[in-house]
Amino acid sequence: MRIWHLVIAIVLLVMLSANAQQSGADAPSAPVTAQTPVVAAPPSPAFSPGQPEPQLPNAVRQPGAAPVRTVYASAHAPTMDQVVNRAVEREHALMEMLKTRTPIVETYLQDLKFLQQGGAVPVGDHYFLGRMYLDETIDRTDYLKEKSMQTRLMGGFQRLYKIQYRPMGFSWMIYADRTDFDREHYNFRYAHREFLGDVRCMMFTVTPKKNSGKGRFVGRIWVEDQDYNIVRLNGTYEPRPRNAYFFHMDSWRLNLVPGYWVPAYIYSEEGSYGSKDEIAFKAQTRLWGYDLQKSAGDGEFTEVQVDSTVKDQSPTAQDPSPLQAQWQWQQLAGDNVVERLQDAGLLAPRGEVDKVLETVVNNLLTTNNIELPGPVRARVMLTLPLETFSAGSTIVVSRGLMDVLPDEASLAMVLSRELAHIILGHNLTSKYAFSDRMLFSDESTYKNLGFRHVPEEEAAADQKALDLLKNSPYAQKLNTPGLFLRELAARGPALQALLTAHLGTGLTDHKGAVDHLLPLMNSAPALESTKLDQIAALPLGGRVKLNAWDDRVELIKMTPVSMTTAREKMPLEVTPFSPRLTRFAAIVRATATSDATNPTPND
């Protein structure tokens, strides 16, 4: 019996020893980083003493990501304090990365009047376009000038958007705080988690600490749960200066390069029905052209290779005819214009949207039995004002015009006018075949280029466009283009900034009255704003999606949504941004593994 007792005692000792070793192996490990570890700051005011902090999902390194990601042990996800520290760190890393970038910034604002029946309707508008410099002192150079809004928006500052360490202007809220975004100046309180598109985020309420200074951000931030970058800002700044305004803004970022979420959209709105606000408006700000300095191909001539096997593939070995030579000369001029506009960040690189436009153009040419000496191309200008022009044999349509067109027949209408100019030989660009005429700064583009025709040419192009449309596949669908023109006529006087062409030609005169294709408008049905199934024009931003990093555009695939009131049609109006956020590179993880290893925060 004693022997059995001894055996049992030995077995128990062995088991206890094994358990002790296993416990040591499972002890919590410290956060692991490839560089310096994140040091936790003092506890955030978001958490009271004695309360457990919510836990976050473990971070998984994204392939190709630029920043070094903090990886936490699977048994212990980072605390909210650590997430805040990491978000602050990533915000400053973003500022550092963007210091050498000079994106284009565009703001379009509609003044509002509140009606009892119609809600808020635009009664005036303003348009700003410039280039931002994101170095130590954020500044901007304006392509277009509008002095009337300067004192209202900036409280008497010498120059619109002249920003030096002050969160002023529509484009300032690309950052929460340019200089002092840290825990010494701000309180961070965890609110809850939610998905923005495909991206899981933690939302924090951010408030300035007492006596932290003027012009501090107050609102909420959304932090994605892998690299802990801020992907959205929503709020304003306080306290308000005596002679200026801080506007409420909703700022969105997109993951367009590995590891960084770059500012792309800002929506602003002030005023409400029944209020006595001094100012009431809604505005959209877009940024693009972050990678402009790379677009020209910095290393294009670092390696020059000559292929001796290349031979002339022309159908004939003879010189072109005078007609062909003239066409080639005009095409050279058009190509120079297109290249210069793209280098300036005002024209999208060639892509799939251009092919859509060219298909419509070819439909018009084919059904009218017109054969030109060469192909007609089409490109998209990245700016908002509704305008078109032709450079050589290339038709250019603005992003804003494409956004608001209700259907393909309406697109054919605007393309037909520029196609008519090409067919009739109304060429304004032959002087640009001399490349020295392209040697000007980006900021002076609007001073050096222009493609407006004399009234006689415009009248001839209108008539030719009508002939093209009547013999096209769109001949039975011209009621909608006519309604679109009626909508422009109805809203034109209040939206002159939107309808003013800066390089080419619009569809209205300087007072907002339609002055092109009038027979098309006059033959269209009456405009009935209360009729839900009559869509004469779309809201701004409804068709074209712009990549803020490389300037590429694509058409948005919209799901039809039923409307319950006529107010929801919002033709030609500014609306809030709500992009579906996705990551630069998708990470494929098994659901079971993710659920087992990534604890989520408790709300």
Residue 16: CB atoms within 10 A of its CB come to 10
Give me the pLDDT at residue 508, please.
95
Three-state SS letters, 200-262: EEEEEEEEECCCCCCCEEEEEEEEECCCCCEEEEEEEEECCCCCCCCCCEEEEEEEEECCEEE
pLDDT tens string 53-111 = 334 333 333 434 445 555 444 446 789 999 999 999 999 999 999 999 999 999 999 99
Residues 546, 552, 556, CA angle at the centre, nearest 5°?
45
Residue 384 burial class via C-beta count within 10 angstroms: exposed 0-12, middle 13-18, buried 19 and up: buried
pLDDT confidence of 311, banded at 50, 70, 90? low
With both helix axes pointing from N to C terminus, report the angle between 479-491 and 408-423 in degrees, rounded to the nearest 10.
Answer: 90
Q: How far is the C-alpha of 176 from the C-alpha of 448, rounded, in Å?
A: 37
Give me the pLDDT at residue 207, please.
96
Q: What's at 174, amino acid-wise?
A: I
pTM of the model: 0.80
Coil, helix or strand for 590? coil
pLDDT confidence of 169, banded at 50, 70, 90? low
Res. 439: pLDDT tops 60:
yes
Give the CA count within 13 Å in the CB-facing half-sphere of 315: 1
Give me the pLDDT at residue 403, please.
95
Cis peptide before 45 (omega within 30 of 0): no
Give the CA count within 13 Å in the CB-facing half-sphere of 138: 24
Mean pLDDT for all residues in the chain: 80
pLDDT tens string 25-38 = 333 333 333 333 33
pLDDT tens string 208-262 = 999 888 889 999 999 999 999 999 999 998 887 776 678 899 999 999 999 999 9
Q: Which residue has the higher pLDDT, 159 or 412?
A: 412
pLDDT tens string 549-589 = 999 999 988 777 788 888 889 999 999 999 999 998 743 33
Q: Which of 28-32, 186-190, 310-314, 551-555 has the lowest mean pLDDT?
A: 28-32
**Of 484, 559, 553, 539, nearest in space to 516 by CA:** 484
Share of the chain above pLDDT 70, in %: 73
Give me the pLDDT at residue 9, please.
60
Res. 150: pLDDT tops 70:
no
Q: Which residue has the higher pLDDT, 145 or 353?
A: 353
pLDDT tens string 468-490 = 999 999 999 999 999 999 999 99
* CA distance to 17, 25, 26, 568, per residue, from 22 (Å): 9, 5, 6, 63
Give me the pLDDT at residue 170, please.
67
Chain centroid to Cα 62, Å, comes to 24
Residue 430 burial class via C-beta count within 10 angstroms: exposed 0-12, middle 13-18, buried 19 and up: middle
pLDDT confidence of 166, banded at 50, 70, 90? very low
**Of 391, 395, 392, 452, nearest in space to 419 by CA:** 395
> H or E segment at 24?
helix 2-25
